[in-house]
């Protein structure tokens, strides 16, 4: 619609103060803000005014929250002197998936960092399987490749489809490794029934992993999902998806 | 509660924040006690989900603990600083959730037999609880509406323009006029930057 190409950069100052800019707009405004003193002043003033918008909405938080917050702060203080002052996170509980699933079930996203941390601790010495000569790159670099992507807590997952190659591929950036004894499995989910496995995400300590998604076509699937499964994969997903990529976009 | 206008409370919050910046956990717990109903209330209002609100509130207070030393008095009151942090986090959570809710809903449809219960719809409940709130009552209805959609519902200005069926430019102007008016009505917050437009 109008103004995609910055008419007056100042004009977003109020929307910015209200956190009412979508990501792209926010980034653009922040770039402007860096060098615009009058906008900086106005942002401060307007943010002060926004406090009025939440006056009267007070809700007494549950006592557990206070306990958790203060405990977290106390624990952080203990850890502060440096790593090693505290022992490694419960070595006998590699990844508490039941809790992770629960969190995800509440629509929380808390478990991804848990998995990432556990993976960081445990994935040392796993078998790393590198994919040969990268047939995935042919899809990713195809001139007609379409991209569908999502971001989950710092990881970016992109699915590419090339009509000319008649092949799909996935590229994951900063994806934490599955903990030992688990694999990440990719699924095609179509309108009819059961998810189809597209294979396991190769283990790699590269920050970027690419794989071909054999047999995936946007014509018969509209979602790609990734779940954490027992090593070697499952017939059907057994955990909630950690990421879903929408092929309709 | 008189917002952060109350001088004695303001001073208490400021002291507690200064103490927190120095690493004093006692001071931090006072800061929590003084501010958490306000902070949590805002987060609950934006997220409409108490479990998530608790997660976000915990993140906010941890952030505050870590970053207390970066608070600058010339950028606003301590409460306004806290609420700005809380609001940004709550809104980011809402956006991340709504981006994924459409996908999640379809995933549920495809992988389960049972129909999906429409939790996503709760985010749609609009503008409830417009309790009469001081300076807000001095805005026009149209101004109050855009500010509440943006701030309390976590909508972007584009979403506001779509929700109200008004052009984006109009939404922007209304948001800006409304917020500037609110600032004036609150009386002398800041020394009044130049008023453009």
Kindly determine whether residue A52 and residue B186, on different chains, have CB atoms separated by under 8 Å.
yes
pLDDT at A208 over 70: yes
With beta carbons less than 8 A apart as the criterion, state whether A147 and A175 touch.
no
Triad B180, B186, B187: Cα angle to 5°: 95
Rounded Cα–Cα distance for residues A223 and A191 (Å): 9
Q: Does A67 touch chain B (CB under 8 A)?
A: no
Dihedral in degrees, nearest 10, Cα atoms B59, B61, B67, B71: 130
pLDDT at B115: 35
Query: By percentage, how much of chain A surpasses pLDDT 70?
Result: 73
pLDDT at B125: 31
pLDDT at B185 over 60: yes
Query: HSE of B179 in the Cβ direction (CA atoms, 13 Å)?
Result: 35
Triad B135, B136, B140: Cα angle to 5°: 120
Work out the number of other CB atoms within 10 angstroms of the CB of residue B99. Answer: 13
Kindly indicate the confidence band of residue A83, based on its pLDDT and cuts at 50, 70 and 90: very low
Beta bridge partners of A147: A160
Work out the number of other CB atoms within 10 angstroms of the CB of residue A142. Answer: 17
Kindly determine whether residue B51 and residue A57, on different chains, have CB atoms separated by under 8 Å.
no
Comparing CA positions, the residue from A228, A227, A220 lying closest to residue A247 is A220
Query: HSE of B116 in the Cβ direction (CA atoms, 13 Å)?
Result: 17
pLDDT at A163: 86
Rg over CA atoms, chain B: 19
Which residue bears the tokens 């496995």? A197
Comparing CA positions, the residue from A1, A55, A59 lying closest to residue A25 is A1
Query: By percentage, how much of chain B surpasses pLDDT 90?
Result: 58
pLDDT at B117 over 60: no
Q: List all residues of chain B from 4 to 23 with a beta carbon under 8 Å from chain A.
A: 4, 23
pLDDT at B146: 94
Kindly determine whether residue B193 and residue A72, on different chains, have CB atoms separated by under 8 Å.
no
Kindly indicate the confidence band of residue B121, based on its pLDDT and cuts at 50, 70 and 90: very low
pLDDT at B12 over 70: yes
Q: Does B121 touch chain A (CB under 8 A)?
A: no
**Model pTM score:** 0.56
Q: Does A41 touch chain B (CB under 8 A)?
A: yes
Rounded Cα–Cα distance for residues B97 and A209 (Å): 26
Triad B68, A50, B43: Cα angle to 5°: 65
Helices (DSSP H) in A109-225: which residue ranges? Answer: 111-122, 135-140
* Region of poorest pLDDT, from A38-42, A126-130, B65-69: A126-130
Triad A49, A51, A54: Cα angle to 5°: 130
Question: If you average pLDDT over residues A1-5, what whole number do you get?
Answer: 41
pLDDT at B132 over 60: no
pLDDT at B136 over 50: yes
Kindly determine whether residue A12 and residue B152, on different chains, have CB atoms separated by under 8 Å.
no
Which of A40-54, A58-72, A79-93, A172-186 has the highest average model confidence (pLDDT)? A58-72
Average pLDDT score, chain B: 80
Smallest CA–CA distance from A62 into chain B, residue: B54
Rounded Cα–Cα distance for residues A186 and A224 (Å): 7
Q: What sign does the CA torsion over B63, B66, B70, B71 have?
A: positive
What does DSSP assign to residue B150?
Answer: I
The widest CA-to-CA distance across chain A, in whole angstroms, is 62
pLDDT at B89 over 60: yes
Question: If you average pLDDT over residues B34-39, what whole number do you get?
Answer: 97
Element of type H or E holding B96: helix B78-111
Question: If you average pLDDT over residues A68-78, what whole number do you get?
Answer: 90
pLDDT at A247: 84
pLDDT at A142: 84
Chain B residues inside the 8 Å CB shell of A249: none
End-to-end CA distance of chain A: 19
pLDDT at A74: 93
pLDDT at B157 over 80: yes
With beta carbons less than 8 A apart as the criterion, state whether A106 and B51 touch.
yes
Q: Does A2 touch chain B (CB under 8 A)?
A: yes
The distance of A198 to chain B (nearest Cα, Å) reads 16
Structure tokens at A141: 């670099």
* A19 φψ region: left (φ > 0), alpha (ψ -120 to 50), beta (else): left
pLDDT at A90: 35
Q: In what order do the strands lie in the sheet with A196-200?
A: A196-200, A182-189, A223-230, A243-246
Question: If you average pLDDT over residues B18-34, what whole number do you get?
Answer: 95
Task: State the complex-level ipTM.
Answer: 0.78
Kindly determine whether residue A45 and residue B190, on different chains, have CB atoms separated by under 8 Å.
yes
Q: What are phi and psi of A225, to 5 degrees?
A: -125, 155
pLDDT at B6: 63
pLDDT at A177: 79
pLDDT tens digits for range A160-204: 988 888 889 999 988 887 877 888 899 888 776 678 888 888 888
Distances from the Cα of A219 to the Cα of A161, A234, A243, B158, angstroms: 11, 24, 20, 31
Beta bridge partners of B74: none
Kindly indicate the confidence band of residue A58, based on its pLDDT and cuts at 50, 70 and 90: very high
pLDDT at A104: 33
Please name the member of B136, B154, B168 whose beta carbon is closest to the beta carbon of A52. Answer: B136
B106 compared with A158, residue with greater pLDDT: A158
Question: If you average pLDDT over residues A101-130, what whole number do you get?
Answer: 37
């Amino acid at each position: 619609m109008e103004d995609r190409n910055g008419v007056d950069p100042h004009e977003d100052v109020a929307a910015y103060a209200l956190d009412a800019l979508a990501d792209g707009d926010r980034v653009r405004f922040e770039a402007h803000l860096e060098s615009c003193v009058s906008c900086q002043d106005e942002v401060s003033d307007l943010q002060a005014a926004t406090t009025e918008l939440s006056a009267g909405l007070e809700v007494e938080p549950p006592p557990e929250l206070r306990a958790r917050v203060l405990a977290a702060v106390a624990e952080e203080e203990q850890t502060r002197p440096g790593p090693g002052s505290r022992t490694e996170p419960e070595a006998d509980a590699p990844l508490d998936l039941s809790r992770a699933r629960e969190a995800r079930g509440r629509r929380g996203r808390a478990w991804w960092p848990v998995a990432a941390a556990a993976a960081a601790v445990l994935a040392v010495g796993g078998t790393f399987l590198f994919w040969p000569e990268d047939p995935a790159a042919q899809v990713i670099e195809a001139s007609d490749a379409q991209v569908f992507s999502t971001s989950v807590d710092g990881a970016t997952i992109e699915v590419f489809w090339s009509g000319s190659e008649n092949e799909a591929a996935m590229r994951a950036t900063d994806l934490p490794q599955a903990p030992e004894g688990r694999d990440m499995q990719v699924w095609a989910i179509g309108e009819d029934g059961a998810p189809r496995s597209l294979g396991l995400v190769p283990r790699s300590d590269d920050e970027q992993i690419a794989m071909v998604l054999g047999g995936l076509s946007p014509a018969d699937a509209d979602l790609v999902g990734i779940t954490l499964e027992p090593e070697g994969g499952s017939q059907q997903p057994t955990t909630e998806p950690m990421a879903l990529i929408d092929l309709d976009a | 509660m008189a917002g952060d206008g109350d001088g004695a409370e303001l001073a208490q919050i400021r002291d507690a924040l200064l103490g927190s910046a120095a690493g004093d956990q006692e001071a931090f717990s006072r800061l929590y006690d003084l501010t958490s109903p306000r902070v949590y209330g805002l987060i609950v209002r934006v997220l409409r989900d108490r479990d998530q609100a608790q997660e976000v509130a915990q993140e906010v207070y941890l952030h505050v603990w870590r970053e207390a030393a970066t608070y600058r008095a010339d950028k606003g009151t301590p409460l306004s600083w806290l609420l700005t942090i809380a609001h940004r986090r709550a809104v980011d959570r809402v956006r991340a959730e709504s981006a994924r809710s459409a996908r999640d809903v379809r995933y549920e449809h495809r992988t389960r037999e049972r129909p999906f219960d429409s939790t996503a719809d709760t985010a749609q409940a609009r503008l409830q609880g417009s309790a009469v709130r001081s300076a807000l009552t001095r805005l026009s209805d149209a101004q109050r509406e855009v500010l509440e959609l943006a701030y309390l519902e976590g909508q972007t200005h584009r979403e506001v323009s779509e929700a109200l069926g008004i052009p984006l430019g109009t939404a922007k102007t209304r948001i800006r006029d409304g917020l500037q008016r609110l600032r004036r009505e609150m009386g002398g917050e800041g020394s009044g930057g130049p008023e453009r437009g």
